[in-house]
Chain A
Amino acid sequence: MAVMTWLRSLIQRRRVTREIDDELAFHLDMETQANIDRGMTPEQARRAALRDFAGVVQAKEAVREVRTFRVESVWQDVRHATRTLAGHPGFSVTAVTMLALGIGITTAMFTLVDTLILRPVPFRDPEQLAHLWMGSDRGGRIVVAPAVLRAWQQSPAFDGAESAAPATALLEAGETVVTRGIATVTPGVFNLLGGVTPLRGQLFDDGGATHSNGVLVSETVWRTLYDADPALVGRSISVNRERLTVVGILPAEFRFPSADTVLWRPTDLIRPGEMAQAYVRFATGLPREDALRLATDAARAADAQNATLRPWVFPLAGIDDAYSKQAVPLLGGGVVLVFLVLCANVCSLMLARLTTRRREFSMRAALGASRARLMRQAFVESCVLGAAGAAAGAAVAWGFVSIARALLPEPLLMQTLNPLDLDARALAASSMAGVVATLAAGLLPAWLGTRVDAGESLRVVNRSGTETRGARALSRGLLVLEVAMACTLLIGATLLARSFANLTRADRGLDTTGVTTLWLSFGGNALDAAGRAALARTLEEDFRQLPGVQQVAWSYGLPPGGGMTSFGDWTSDTAGSSPQNLEVERYVVGPEFFSLYRIPIIHGRGFAASEPQGHVIVGERLARTLWPGLDPVGHTFRFMEQQFTVIGVAREIHYPAIDSRLDRPEFYHAYTEASSTPMVSLRCVPACPDAAVIRNHLASSHPAVRVQRAAPAERNYAAQLARPRAAAALALTFAAIAVIAAAGGLFSVLSYGVSRRRREFGIRTALGASPRQIRRVVFGDGLIVAVTGAVIGSLAGAALARGLRSLQYGVTPGDTASWLLVLGIVWLTTVLACWRPARTAARMDPLMMLREE
């Protein structure tokens, strides 16, 4: 009721004023009437009533004051708070910065986690959608035969099954030639996903028209390359030197099957050798196991190769690889820690101000301010601080998300089909959290300050303003917590950073500097073996003409991990040897391959010009596994029905990756017959022409050859580096913020402590304490906090390190160097934070001090 009255008075001020006027007028009338009844003339009666009223205006003012008291005093509080905060710019800026960082980082991180993991893909019933392929227990090819896809389309297990295969293409728009993501899709794929409406034009399956030479383009391409030309639909554009007609323009938000896909071409999967990448929509109401059983049967009936294989299901919703699943929640936890550290810091900053504030509060209490009034003022002050922090936090979050969008590794961003945009809900939530933390931090001083009786603050002995015990314990506790959390974060970050450093420095067993790789396609089975060989020869001539090219090597399979992966039982010819179950990488390599990649043959010989089919060169690891302690040259081994003879041993090549399963043993076949989808490695001095230049060159000289992918060899390793790099960079950022915040907290609390204990230090110095002894007191104060924090933080860090084990490469949770580094940083930071306060304390002039008294 009171709130209602207050609200009404706030909203309907004028009406309230009129009502008060009415009320008092009524009183006057009644009084006048009463006077008349007592026998006065109306004029006398009126005058007597007014005299009785003792000043109508004053009465009105008094009433209005009652009515408007709250509104105006809140406004007064806000002004007072703003003045107080502006009066201490150092404190205010620090507190707002910390809050802003906390809120900003938390929001940005939540946005990332939400976009990457939590939010479903932007399609209809996304949980029913999946990428489906057939493989053994260890994996397999992600493509299926078109017959399998057709069988799945007919199967009651699915509401739909379509194919979408991502690749890259050369796109020409006027003078510009760029490489862009393209997908070859079956026309029904848009329907399968649901909710896809072209901005302009139509989809492939609209209107029954055939669009075999049609292409759909993304809004992003339309805007950036064609200046949002409204007449683009119906025009023809050049994709891979082929004229295709633009059928429609899809909104920029539509990202499928890969987040970088901006072009879509239709296919009916009837070209020879074309495979399907199946995306299915599971039938509603059918249990998933039953659906998969039906799918397996259908796949086996359609393609005998699937006889021993089982379906692999990759849901479209969210990230599903192990690294991100582990790293993202851990980073999320890191964010929470940073947030807590920053909030604790704001809290301890406000507590550090408690001494001065407490005197102010006590003084005001002594002058008659009620406790509720003081608490309200503290509340308003915290709100103002919190609001400023939240506003700045929104800006910080926006900045972080922009940076993330620009810098986050593609493999991570590419995993989500959601656009990365700042999340309003996250901003609201973390702002709320930040404001609540500030409130808690701000109200505590007010509570502690108003608890002391008014007289105490005025007592003479208290003039040096010692801390209350509660505030001291609390601020020290908060500091310990901060140091502990910073320490924990630092341990996690150091391990991740060292893992990343180890990954980049890891021995790959080969040299990729100046090497560029190309994935080519000679157009299915259009050419016979002789034709392909002839084409390969002219291509090779062409490559050698490119500036800087020194070596050209054909191969099928490119390091790292780009060969054919064969898994199963491998049997060596040594007597009594049992079959080894292994996952082995097989490369088919041309004569210059080993010298191009600087892989030495350490035993036996390399491939001769015409090497028999069964002759292979094995890597060291496979040699050790199959023929332990023996020279494998001349030995044979079997895999399934095939038999191989070892003619040489090559130095082992490595694929440094967090997931150690990716680094498989390998062996090499001779590249004797030109493949229809060969790969080429070029070594150039000093560096190869840009990949786009090579593509463009090929497109004009050999239009029949399709370049599926062209990239520096170095980039082929990037996929396994990108996420560890992102994780390490984020973790290091968080740890740095936490350490700086903790150091700042320690510094400010110690400085405050010293400034309060000036009298004590002055007396000590006067009594003969050396500067060194004084310094030791202050250092001791700081070190107790730091050591306690470091111990707690190390325990938590040890647990974290064990949790991080699967994200580490080449470091153990107990890595001595990392721990020494972390403890060294904590120690150094503590010393730095203590240095100035200690020096100030030691330099205090006792005479000055005592004179001040």
Chain B
Amino acid sequence: MPKTEYLQGALDLLILQTVTLSPNHGWGIQQRLRQISRESIAVSQGSLYPALHRLEVAGFLTSEMTASENNRKARVYTITVAGRKRLSAETDDWRDFALAIGRILQAE
């Protein structure tokens, strides 16, 4: 499991990417991240929820309280247009960054 430091910057990116696929609630996002990364990325709730709310305050996500399975109240997050723009910009940045790191590591 990668250390949190790597994750901090990328968490927003991962959340936005996950929500792009379909609107989801916090638990669903967490599960999906775990599944897609094949259990290698586990985001703690203590980081996930502040990040979700931060993204919403920043206008990249919107949320709605809905009645979910078992008639429970769940907050479902949806990506906004600004969020999509941010995602594509961040994705490009991340790719460049990853490429650069990769090159440096190979240059050895």
* A residues neighboring B (CB under 8 Å): 1-2, 5-6, 19-20, 22-24, 26-27, 29-31, 34, 52-55, 58-59, 62-63, 65-67, 69-70
| B85 CB–A CB distance under 8 Å | no
Query: Across the two chains, which residue of chain A brings its CB closest to B65?
Result: A19
Taking a contact as CB atoms closer than 8 A, the residue among B27, B57, B65, B74 that contacts A66 in the complex is B57
Residues on B with C-beta less than 8 A from A66 are 50, 53-54, 57
Residues on A with C-beta less than 8 A from B25 are 23, 26-27
Q: Which of B14-32 contact A (CB under 8 A)?
A: 25-27, 30-31
Residues on B with C-beta less than 8 A from A20 are 49
Q: Is the CB of B53 within 8 A of A2?
A: no
Residues on B with C-beta less than 8 A from A31 are 27
Complex CA–CA separation, A846 to B22 (angstroms): 74
Q: Is the CB of B45 within 8 A of A52?
A: yes
| B102 CB–A CB distance under 8 Å | no
What is the distance, in angstroms, from A32's C-beta to the closest C-beta of chain B?
11
With A2-B58, A26-B73 already in contact, the answer to whether A58 and B46 are too (CB < 8 A) is yes
Q: Is the CB of A53 within 8 A of B54?
A: no
Q: Is the CB of B56 within 8 A of A5?
A: yes
SS of A interface (majority): helix
Residues on B with C-beta less than 8 A from A30 are 27
With A1-B59, A26-B72, A26-B73 already in contact, the answer to whether A63 and B27 are too (CB < 8 A) is no
Residues on A with C-beta less than 8 A from B73 are 22-23, 26
Residues on A with C-beta less than 8 A from B56 are 2, 5
Complex CA–CA separation, A356 to B106 (angstroms): 49
Complex CA–CA separation, A66 to B60 (angstroms): 14
| B68 CB–A CB distance under 8 Å | yes
Q: Is the CB of B80 within 8 A of A62?
A: no
Of the A-B pairs whose beta carbons lie under 8 Å apart in the complex, a sample of 16, sorted by A's number, is: A1-B80, A2-B56, A2-B59, A19-B75, A22-B75, A26-B27, A27-B25, A29-B72, A31-B27, A53-B45, A54-B44, A54-B46, A55-B46, A59-B50, A62-B46, A63-B53
Taking a contact as CB atoms closer than 8 A, the residue among A22, A24, A69 that contacts B45 in the complex is A24
With A1-B62, A55-B46 already in contact, the answer to whether A67 and B53 are too (CB < 8 A) is yes
Q: Is the CB of A6 within 8 A of B57?
A: yes
With A1-B62, A1-B80, A27-B27 already in contact, the answer to whether A63 and B72 are too (CB < 8 A) is no
Q: Is the CB of B45 within 8 A of A67?
A: no
Complex CA–CA separation, A66 to B50 (angstroms): 6
Q: Is the CB of B74 within 8 A of A23?
A: yes
Q: Is the CB of A67 within 8 A of B26?
A: no
Q: Which of B70-108 contact A (CB under 8 A)?
A: 70, 72-75, 80
Residues on B with C-beta less than 8 A from A63 are 49-50, 53
Complex CA–CA separation, A15 to B100 (angstroms): 46
Complex CA–CA separation, A22 to B49 (angstroms): 12
* B residues neighboring A (CB under 8 Å): 25-27, 30-31, 44-46, 49-50, 53-54, 56-59, 62, 65, 68, 70, 72-75, 80
With A5-B56, A23-B74 already in contact, the answer to whether A62 and B49 are too (CB < 8 A) is yes
Residues on B with C-beta less than 8 A from A26 are 25-27, 68, 72-75
Starting from the known contacts A29-B72, A34-B31, A59-B50, 7 additional A-B residue pairs (CB-CB under 8 Å) come to: A2-B56, A2-B58, A5-B59, A24-B49, A26-B27, A27-B45, A70-B57
Q: Which of A20, A59, A70 has the most CB of B within 10 A?
A: A59
Complex CA–CA separation, A63 to B50 (angstroms): 4
Residues on B with C-beta less than 8 A from A6 are 57
Residues on A with C-beta less than 8 A from B58 are 2
With A2-B58, A5-B57, A6-B57 already in contact, the answer to whether A23 and B75 are too (CB < 8 A) is yes
What is the distance, in angstroms, from A42's C-beta to the closest C-beta of chain B?
14
Q: Is the CB of B65 within 8 A of A22?
A: yes
Complex CA–CA separation, A10 to B74 (angstroms): 22
With A19-B65, A29-B72 already in contact, the answer to whether A59 and B45 are too (CB < 8 A) is yes
Residues on B with C-beta less than 8 A from A34 are 31
What is the distance, in angstroms, from B100's C-beta to the closest C-beta of chain A?
25
Query: Across the two chains, which residue of chain A brings its CB closest to B58?
Result: A2
Residues on A with C-beta less than 8 A from B27 are 26-27, 30-31
Query: Across the two chains, which residue of chain B brings its CB closest to A31?
Result: B27
With A26-B25, A31-B27, A66-B50 already in contact, the answer to whether A54 and B45 are too (CB < 8 A) is yes
What is the distance, in angstroms, from A23's C-beta to the closest C-beta of chain B?
4
Taking a contact as CB atoms closer than 8 A, the residue among B31, B49, B57, B70 that contacts A2 in the complex is B57
What is the distance, in angstroms, from B27's C-beta to the closest C-beta of chain A?
4
Residues on A with C-beta less than 8 A from B46 are 53-55, 58-59, 62
Query: Across the two chains, which residue of chain A brings its CB closest to B75?
Result: A23
Residues on A with C-beta less than 8 A from B62 are 1
Complex CA–CA separation, A31 to B26 (angstroms): 11
Complex CA–CA separation, A805 to B35 (angstroms): 88
Complex CA–CA separation, A23 to B46 (angstroms): 13
What is the distance, in angstroms, from A242's C-beta to the closest C-beta of chain B?
80
Taking a contact as CB atoms closer than 8 A, the residue among A5, A23, A52, A69 that contacts B49 in the complex is A23
What is the distance, in angstroms, from B18's C-beta to the closest C-beta of chain A?
15
Residues on A with C-beta less than 8 A from B57 are 2, 5-6, 66-67, 69-70
Residues on A with C-beta less than 8 A from B44 are 52-54
Residues on B with C-beta less than 8 A from A19 are 65, 75
Complex CA–CA separation, A59 to B62 (angstroms): 20
Residues on B with C-beta less than 8 A from A70 are 57
What is the distance, in angstroms, from A451's C-beta to the closest C-beta of chain B?
25
Complex CA–CA separation, A1 to B80 (angstroms): 10
Residues on B with C-beta less than 8 A from A62 are 46, 49-50
With A19-B75, A22-B65 already in contact, the answer to whether A27 and B53 are too (CB < 8 A) is no
Query: Across the two chains, which residue of chain A brings its CB closest to B49?
Result: A63
Complex CA–CA separation, A62 to B70 (angstroms): 27
Considering the complex of A and B, which 7 residue pairs feature the smallest CB-CB distances, nearest first? A2-B59, A30-B27, A66-B53, A62-B50, A23-B75, A27-B27, A22-B73
Q: Which of A5, A34, A53 has the most CB of B within 10 A?
A: A5
Complex CA–CA separation, A65 to B31 (angstroms): 25
Q: Which of B31, B57, B75, B80 has the most CB of A within 10 A?
A: B57
Complex CA–CA separation, A65 to B74 (angstroms): 20
Query: Across the two chains, which residue of chain B brings its CB closest to A62?
Result: B50
What is the distance, in angstroms, from A562's C-beta to the closest C-beta of chain B?
77
Complex CA–CA separation, A5 to B61 (angstroms): 11
Complex CA–CA separation, A59 to B49 (angstroms): 7
Residues on B with C-beta less than 8 A from A22 are 65, 73, 75
Complex CA–CA separation, A473 to B14 (angstroms): 49
What is the distance, in angstroms, from A45's C-beta to the closest C-beta of chain B?
14
What is the distance, in angstroms, from A373's C-beta to the closest C-beta of chain B?
15
Q: Which of B25, B49, B56 has the most CB of A within 10 A?
A: B49
Q: Is the CB of A27 within 8 A of B59?
A: no
What is the distance, in angstroms, from A213's C-beta to the closest C-beta of chain B?
78
Complex CA–CA separation, A55 to B45 (angstroms): 9
What is the distance, in angstroms, from B52's C-beta to the closest C-beta of chain A?
8
Complex CA–CA separation, A55 to B44 (angstroms): 10
What is the distance, in angstroms, from A2's C-beta to the closest C-beta of chain B?
4
What is the distance, in angstroms, from B64's C-beta to the closest C-beta of chain A?
10
Residues on A with C-beta less than 8 A from B26 are 23, 26-27
Residues on A with C-beta less than 8 A from B30 are 27
What is the distance, in angstroms, from B66's C-beta to the closest C-beta of chain A?
10
Query: Across the two chains, which residue of chain B brings its CB closest to A33?
Result: B70
Complex CA–CA separation, A34 to B57 (angstroms): 30
Residues on A with C-beta less than 8 A from B49 are 20, 23-24, 27, 59, 62-63
Query: Across the two chains, which residue of chain A brings its CB closest to B27?
Result: A30
Complex CA–CA separation, A292 to B65 (angstroms): 75
Query: Across the two chains, which residue of chain A brings its CB closest to B50?
Result: A62
What is the distance, in angstroms, from B38's C-beta to the closest C-beta of chain A?
17
Complex CA–CA separation, A31 to B49 (angstroms): 15
What is the distance, in angstroms, from B40's C-beta to the closest C-beta of chain A?
17
Query: Across the two chains, which residue of chain A brings its CB closest to B55?
Result: A66
Residues on B with C-beta less than 8 A from A23 are 25-26, 49, 73-75
What is the distance, in angstroms, from B84's C-beta to the closest C-beta of chain A?
14
Query: Across the two chains, which residue of chain A brings its CB closest to B42?
Result: A52
Complex CA–CA separation, A713 to B103 (angstroms): 103
Complex CA–CA separation, A63 to B47 (angstroms): 9
Residues on B with C-beta less than 8 A from A52 are 44-45
